[in-house]
Amino acid sequence: MSLSSAINTAQTIFNNTAAQTALVSKNISNVSNADYSRRMAMLGTNGNGAQIVSIQRAQNDALMKQHSISIAQSSAQSTLLTGLETIKSALGGNGYETSPSNYLKLFRDSLQTFASTPGNASVAATTVSSASDLAKSLVKTSASVQDVRYQADKEIDASVKTLNGLLADFEKANYAVQGATASGADASDALDQRDKLLRQISEIVGISTVTRANNDTVIYTSDGTVLFENTPRTVTFQATPGFGATTTGNGIYVDGVPLKAGNGANTSGEGKLASLLQLRDDIAPKFQTQLDEIARGLVTLFQENTTPATTALPGLFTWADGTVPAAGTLVPGMAASLTINPLATANPTLVRDGGFNGPGYSSNTSGSSGYTDLLDSFATALGENMAFDTTTGLDGTSSIMDFASSSIGWLEELRSAASTANDNKTALLSRTQDALSNVTGVSLDEELSQLLDLEQSYKASAKLVSTVDAMMTALLQAVG
């Protein structure tokens, strides 16, 4: 090897070592950055046989796609569980202490106590108070359910705006990747940014991707609607200012195509939008129908009639319409206006005697303070079967006590199954994150080991340079 060749070789080694050291340093500085993929320096030769360093980015497309799916599924399940937990909290938490079912049991106990001491004015007042607590529980729970729908609607609105912003950012990142790929420049930073945006989009809506020439990426929703192709597709949604039992929320549209809601406790939805739709349009409305049927049942069971029978009228329990609804027929929003008859507060003995609608509706015609027939019939009726609307998802024939308990059971079964599914999907997400990190993440130990190898390479190059220098010095001295 000539001295000039040795010097050129040393210079090449110095340049390559510097490039590799800079890359290792960049890797180390991003060791805690979950959105960074490890860079690797690959040595090669050019047409003249000289060694060059090219940069390769660690990636695994299959794991990346699985990771996006896991993010979407976990986000959807977590969103659904959060909504169910909110409804549960409104009912008093684990013991459901403030649920209509619990207040119904307390009211029944008060009726039975009143029936055992019908002449006790204090017990009569307590019974009316229990009835009032029951009515207020239904009103409050109904308001909480509609608030869950309203909050879900607000979150949909915010998420859609975020999604549109992410898609606009993705367009810029995608162009940067295409430009770098086409020019042969390093596209690693742009690819990191694009992958980060894909993960963020996955939290909002389930996606799948297809990569085309020049690393161009097309995004589809999980049900096949184009979300991004060259330019973002517009995602539209109109928020609703308030919710009642008869309010229908607006849909989410991706380029004019409606986004599907999730289904089931182990939700089929991917991304939080699918679960928010499920909460707003399926679960919360279903629970509302159960509350409305409990309210209708109370008005029906405590109705008053004359002898001989005429038009039945509400007795102890009444509502905004002031009528007794048809048997087994749902009245949307009835629970929101349920209340006790104001006369009950002024004269609690009307619960014992009847007559909320005038003397002609009184059952205790003798005015006896020991009269218990009406109280006994109320207590018995609470445990007897009656017809309920089957659209509630519960048994169409049961007692109001069992129906109220079944409503809590329905919610708890749904919440428990959703919690189990959330644990499973969270665990799956963790495993896919670990698998992807093992491929694309930075290992500090490996990078430090690489630095040691580069140090040895630098020392060898420096030794070569010092040797050439010594030889050049000896040559000059010999010539001189």
Least confident stretch, 12-16, 321-325, 410-414: 12-16
User: What single-letter DSSP state applies at residue 213?
Assistant: G
**DSSP characters over 140-187:** HHHHHHHHHHHHHHHHHHHHHHHHHHHHHHHHHHHHHHHHHHHHT---
Q: Is this structure's pTM higher than 0.95? A: no
pLDDT-derived band at 416, boundaries 50, 70, 90: very high
Upper half-sphere CA count for residue 352 (Cβ side, 13 Å) = 27
CB 319 within 8 A of CB 295: yes
What are the pLDDT digits (tens) for 217-241? 999 999 899 999 999 999 999 999 9
CB atoms under 10 Å from CB of 67, counted, come to: 23
Indicate if the pLDDT at residue 137 is higher than 90. yes
Domain coordinates in residue numbering, the chain: 3-58+441-479, 65-429
> By C-alpha distance, which of 290, 264, 31 is closest to 142?
290
What are the pLDDT digits (tens) for 21-64? 777 777 677 777 788 878 777 665 554 444 555 677 778 888 99
Indicate if the pLDDT at residue 10 is higher than 70. no
Tell me which H or E stretch contains 219. strand 217-221
Query: What's the CA dihedral at 437, 442, 445, 449 to 10 degrees?
Result: 130
Measured distance CA(430)–CA(82) in Å, rounded = 19
Q: What is the mean pLDDT of the chain?
A: 89
Tell me which H or E stretch contains 16. helix 3-29
46: three-class secondary structure by DSSP: coil
Measured distance CA(161)–CA(466) in Å, rounded = 63
**DSSP characters over 245-296:** TT--PPPPEETTEEPPPP-TTTT---SHHHHHHHIIIIIHHHHHHHHHHHHH
CB 301 within 8 A of CB 382: yes
Indicate if the pLDDT at residue 79 is higher than 80. yes
CB atoms under 10 Å from CB of 69, counted, come to: 19
How far, in whole angstroms, is CA 372 from its chain's centroid?
Answer: 52
Measured distance CA(296)–CA(332) in Å, rounded = 10
Give residue 259's pLDDT: 96
Mean pLDDT confidence for 2-6: 59
Which tokens in the block code for residue 431? 């495993």
Q: In this structure, is the dihedral angle defined by the CA atoms of residues 252, 258, 264 and 266, taken in order, positive or negative? A: negative
pLDDT-derived band at 445, boundaries 50, 70, 90: low
Upper half-sphere CA count for residue 413 (Cβ side, 13 Å) = 10
Indicate if the pLDDT at residue 146 is higher than 70. yes
User: What single-letter DSSP state applies at residue 317?
Assistant: E
Tell me which H or E stretch contains 53. strand 51-57
Which tokens in the block code for residue 208? 């799948």
Measured distance CA(106)–CA(429) in Å, rounded = 45
Give residue 26's pLDDT: 76
For residue 466, CA distances in Å to 7, 17, 184, 463, 476 come to 10, 17, 37, 5, 15
Measured distance CA(88)–CA(415) in Å, rounded = 8
Which tokens in the block code for residue 107? 């009211």
CB 378 within 8 A of CB 372: no
Q: Which residues, listed in sequence order, are joined to residue 208 by a DSSP beta bridge? A: 220
Mean pLDDT confidence for 74-99: 94
CB 70 within 8 A of CB 61: no
Tell me which H or E stretch contains 226. strand 226-229
Give residue 475's pLDDT: 60
**DSSP characters over 103-137:** HHHHHHHHHHHHHHSTT-HHHHHHHHHHHHHHHHH
Indicate if the pLDDT at residue 456 is higher than 80. no
Give residue 306's pLDDT: 80
